[in-house]
Structure 1
Amino acid sequence: MPTSAADERRTDSGAPPLRTVRLVLAREEAERTASVLRAVSDPTRLQLLSMVHHSPDGRARVKDLAAALELRSPTISHHVSMLVEAGVLAREPVGREAWFSIVPDRLAAIADLLR
């Protein structure tokens, strides 16, 4: 029985070899996701994100986060800066203070992690 080109590309299991399968996650998206995962891989940063996510208006100040976690403001600022750099948190200056909120594009991904 003759075989087609498609049949010749099948593996022993009948599935197409991996090199012919269309990539589901493009490299650029994989790198962005890895960056977010690195940023949220710290327990303190996960707590910060959870607090911001569950705050009444979806945003918080370093001062409030520090008080709630009983950590010094410089420690919280360091963690918040890492989350801002990773594109997870957005900084919104209001007068002399800064409020931080989860970036809307990242909210669904972060919400999944916080469940």
Structure 2
Amino acid sequence: MARIFRALSNPNRLRIYAEILKNEEARLDVGCGCHLADVVRSLRSLRIGSPTISHHVRELVNAELITAERQGKFLVCRINPRTRDLARAMFA
């Protein structure tokens, strides 16, 4: 649980997680730098660079909030349903 709270305590990570949660999935274009193809338009106001987005995605994976799987030049990020359900139960 502490890892989840630590990961979501960063406002940028929380926003990235919320966007992935809303879409259930996001594609990270690793062939041309780091662009969350499905989510980046919603995150433009964060004004953070590609390496920082990659770092935040890694932190979310390490906290088991999302999974990441490489598909060609994309890294597909998906919500981890087990952790999502755990968080929902805590706040219900």
- How big is the shift at 1:61? 2.3
Query: Is 1:109 aligned to 2:86, yes or no?
Result: yes
Structure 1 runs of 4+ with >3 Å offset: 109-113
Give 1:59's aligned residue. Answer: 25
- Which residue of the other structure, out of 6, 11, 16, is the alignment partner of 1:48? 16
Contact 1:89 1:102 in 2 (8 A): yes
Alignment of 1:71-82 (within 5 A): 71-82=48-59
- How big is the shift at 1:97? 0.9
Gaps of 5+ in 2: 29-34
Matched-pair identity in %:
32
**Cα RMSD (Å):** 2.2
Give 1:68's aligned residue. Answer: 42
Give aligned pairs, total.
80
Matched residues in 1 for 2:75 and 2:42: separation? 17
Normalization by structure 2: what TM-score? 0.73
Tell me: higher relative CO, structure 1 or 2? Use CA pairs within 8 A at least 6 residues apart: 2
Give 1:86's aligned residue. Answer: 63
- How big is the shift at 1:109? 3.4
Specify whether residues 60 and 67 from structure 1 end up closer, same or farther in structure 2 by C-alpha distance, changes over 3 A only: same
- How big is the shift at 1:88? 1.2
* Higher fraction of strand: 2
What per-residue deviation string (whole Å, max 9, x for no partner) do you get for residues 9-53 of structure 1?
xxxxxxxxxxxxxxxxxxxxxxxx111111111111111111001
Gaps of 5+ in 1: 1-32
The structure having more radius of gyration, on CA atoms, is 1
Matched residues in 1 for 2:20 and 2:88: separation? 11
Moved more, 75-84 or 104-113: 104-113
